[in-house]
Amino acid sequence: MANAHQDSISKYLEISQKIADPSVLAELMALFERRYTIAELLDWTHQRLKFDKGNIERHNDPMEILAYGRGRCGEFSILFASLCLAHWYRARLILDMSDHVWTEVWDEPQKRWIHVDPSEKRMNDPFMYERDWKKNLTEIYAFENGTMENVTKSYKIAKA
């Protein structure tokens, strides 16, 4: 199990660097005529990407994800985080080591990270996984431009 965790961590460290590449961001921004809001980017993602639980090709490159048009939580999160970065928002990928990926976007005025689950199209609901999905979250990591931070406590409901 430790090797699988390390492989996932290595994979998302690499992806987080790739999606921050200025050439990738310029290619994505060229798809837009103006800077979109976070909510508009979430809608834009859902207009172009279909959630598919079937036997699909998996992609880590935002342009390949767009071209393929289908994906799961990983593809939705990679594409959405990339779009946020292309629109000058600070964003990072969040990996729940059990089986899910989502995004956080930095809220500059509030000086805090905002939870965004692009595949579920939900914002600012970090406890949805324990509350609604009944998940037992144990390890959750944030990946931003080749760095990693343990953010598990941000997603755990405090026990009284």
Catalytic residue annotation: 73, 100, 117
The torsion angles phi and psi of 118, rounded to 5 degrees, stand at -65, -35
Contacts of 153 (CB under 8 A, 6+ apart): none
* E strands present in the chain: 50-51, 70-71, 91-96, 100-107, 112-117, 122-123, 140-144, 147-150
Rounded Cα–Cα distance for residues 80 and 41 (Å): 7
* Nearest alpha-carbon partner for 77 in 103, 47, 55, 49: 103
* Nearest alpha-carbon partner for 66 in 44, 87, 88: 44
Give the Å distances, CA to CA, from 1 to 35, 74, 98, 101: 42, 20, 11, 18
